[in-house]
Amino acid sequence: MKRHYKPMLAHVATAPFNSKDWIFEIKWDGIRAISYVNTELNIQSRNDKELKYNFPEFNELKELAKNTVLDGEIVVMKNGRADFQSLLERTKTTSDKDIEYGTETLPATYVVFAILE
């Protein structure tokens, strides 16, 4: 991966719109992240914080999406909805034991928006 990417962020619009020429998606309540998938995995927040240690369940990307750069949102689902508070709990854990517990009890999902490379 030769380039370093910054996620595209939302901008203020003058008014809402609807058009048959556009496809609209769910607004996920999570952490925007760019994933660099090679022999190593790096998952970086929009502020360049490394997130791979808090989300070991994403190591499977090394097998599923080799040699790619992905742009997406990390979410934790609870009762069928993205739960930002539970996601924050996952990001604050530092011990291996707590990270493993969080992976089992509050598994994260990586919702990919775009394949950049």
Q: How many structural domains does the chain have? A: 1
The domain of 100 spans: 31-115
87: buried, middle or exposed (CB in 10 Å: 19+, 13-18, 0-12)?
buried
CATH number, residue 35: 3.30.470.30
**How would residue 1 be classed by pLDDT, with cut points 50, 70 and 90?**
low
Q: Please report whether residue 26 resides in a domain.
A: no
Q: Please report whether residue 21 resides in a domain.
A: no
**Is the Cβ–Cβ distance between 61 and 41 less than 8 Å?**
yes
Active-site choice (2, 20, 27, 92):
27
User: Using alpha carbons only, what angle is made at residue 77 by residues 71 and 78, rounded to the nearest 5 degrees?
Assistant: 165
Supply the pLDDT for residue 25. 80
3-state secondary structure of 28: coil
Q: Please report whether residue 102 resides in a domain.
A: yes
Q: Please report whether residue 99 resides in a domain.
A: yes
Question: Would you call 27 a catalytic residue per the annotation?
Answer: yes
Q: Please report whether residue 19 resides in a domain.
A: no
pLDDT tens digits, one per residue of 48-101: 999 999 999 999 999 999 999 999 999 999 999 999 999 999 999 999 999 999
Q: Please report whether residue 110 resides in a domain.
A: yes
The whole-angstrom separation of Cα 21 and Cα 24 is: 10
